[in-house]
Amino acid sequence: MSLLKAHLRALFVGVATVAALLFAGLPAQAACTLGVDNPSTAARAEAGLLPIDTPLCGNRNDFLKLRTPKGHEFCFANAGSMGLAGIHINYLSAGNNKGALWVVNEGHCGGVFFEKWQVKHFHPPVSVAFVEIY
């Protein structure tokens, strides 16, 4: 399976699961977290998704960097994906990475896509449920 097909399949699995959970009447926060954070192990393996690396940020600017309103930084590197425990962020610096975050903003779950070297600010802060680097 090509890399593009694998990413599209993984995205479809996540979106389909979130949609099903929302249709079932779960609040957006729960659906976003449950649906995207925990796709089935078989679906993730079939899609070729790997765990993402979480290096210390240091002075590096090539990592994907997420920053909380209190200034705490979380960095990610290399292709892969992982669920997050609803970290609230107000800043994203993509570094040398392209990918997506699944976030909850004012009760709505959605994708935030980023390109290499892009910087995004979130006002109000958003809650991140899932991160993926392509």
pLDDT at 26: 38
Buried b (16+ CB within 10 A) or exposed e, 29-43: eebbbbbbbebeeeb
Q: Under a CB-based contact definition with an 8 Å cutoff, are residues 84 and 131 in contact?
A: yes
pLDDT at 46: 57
**28-68 pLDDT, tens digit each:** 445 465 444 444 444 555 555 567 899 999 999 999 999 99
CATH 2.60.20.30 fits domain 3-133:
yes
pLDDT at 36: 45
pLDDT at 42: 47
Cα–Cα–Cα angle for 57, 63, 68, rounded to 5 degrees: 60
**86-116 pLDDT, tens digit each:** 899 999 999 999 999 999 888 888 899 999 9
- 27 pLDDT tier (thresholds 50, 70, 90): very low
**What whole-number distance in Å separates Cα of residue 58 and Cα of residue 43?**
34
In terms of Cβ atoms closer than 10 Å to its own Cβ (0-12, 13-18, 19+), residue 121 is exposed
Predicted TM-score (pTM) of the model is 0.68
What's the mean pLDDT in 73-91? Answer: 92
Looking at residue 52, what DSSP letter applies?
Answer: P
What's the mean pLDDT in 3-23? Answer: 44
For the chain, domain boundaries = 3-133
What's the mean pLDDT in 7-20? Answer: 44
